[in-house]
Amino acid sequence: MKLGVIGCGKMGTALVQGAIRAGVVGAADVTGCDPFEKSRELFQKATGAKVTADVADVVSACEVLFLCTKPQDISMALAEAAKMAAGEARLVISIAAGVTLSALESVASENFRFIRAMPNTPVLVGHGAAGFCLGSRATSEDAKTAHSLLGAVGLAIEVPERLMDAVTGLSGSGPAYIYVIIDALADGGVRAGIPRADAVRLAAQTVFGAAAMVLETGEHPGVLKDMVTSPGGTTIAGLAVLERHGLRSALIEAVGAATLRATELGK
């Protein structure tokens, strides 16, 4: 696979690093494109890939393109890329938030097969979560390609486009909710006498370990919760407080609010 990246920022760099690390693609088969020299330098240093300031170089050399520009720059980047495709179809995976498949295809539908993806920021450390959906011209092989590239930096799940705003509300915005929870847990530890640095590390590792238990065991979170909760013990005392203060409903409503806002921003 010859992989091109248009927009060599942190997300584009992280996605390529993961793909190279997983053996999905070799550094020699990757070309990054960015108008800013500093971004190109950082991308090249992090990935070992080739870089260019010219979109034509990427489009002519690569069969799969990661489109990692800002949403407002999408149309210009695609219009320029379409001119260089010379009638040959390319697979384009866009990570631009809120930019729909119809919007992408209206710019360059004849030259490109599109996949829309929403990865979250933990892809920067190889533990991301991404939802993706297929455009009208994308094939089942394209879906496999997207899954292998996005899955190289975490979890990748194919969904219908109507659920992409919900993916944004859950996993796209979700890390921020978890950071608040980690910070609050650490505050509780500090209140109980644990030094701040130790409390933060214990809280973060607890969240990380609990998430790993859900993913690796396949058990329902409620079952795993019950495994920790002894009759009359410390955990049920803490859980009762969380229920009394509405943690569960607050998180449900947070996902709903973020989903609604994603829909508004996409119009």
Strand 3-6 and strand 30-33: the pairing is: parallel
CA 108 – CA 103 distance, rounded (Å): 9
- The percent of residues in the chain predicted with pLDDT above 70, rounded, is 98
What is the CATH code of the structural domain delimited by 3-160?
3.40.50.720
CATH level 3 topology of 172-265: ProC C-terminal domain-like fold (1.10.3730)
Higher pLDDT, 208 or 1: 208
Residue 109 has what pLDDT? 66
Number of DSSP helices (H) and strands (E) in the chain, helices first: 12, 8
- pTM flag (> 0.85): yes
Q: Residue ranges per domain, the chain?
A: 3-160, 172-265
For the stretch 76-94, pLDDT in tens is: 888 777 776 666 778 999 9
d(CA 262, CA 250): 18
* CA separation for the pair 105, 44 (Å, rounded): 30
- Cα–Cα distances (Å) from 202 to 120, 188, 224, in that order, read 23, 11, 19
Reported as a single tens digit per residue, the pLDDT across 229-254 is: 999 999 999 999 999 999 999 999 99
Determine the average pLDDT of the residues in 137-145: 96
CA distance 98 to 122: 19
> CA 15 to CA 217: how far, in whole Å?
27
What is the average pLDDT across 173-193?
Answer: 98
The number of angstroms, rounded, from the C-alpha of 131 to the middle of its chain's C-alpha atoms is: 7
pLDDT band, very low/low/confident/very high, at 146 (cuts 50, 70, 90)? very high
Q: What is the pLDDT of residue 169?
A: 96
3-state secondary structure of 154: strand
Question: Is residue 95 pLDDT above 70, yes or no?
Answer: yes
pLDDT of residue 265: 83
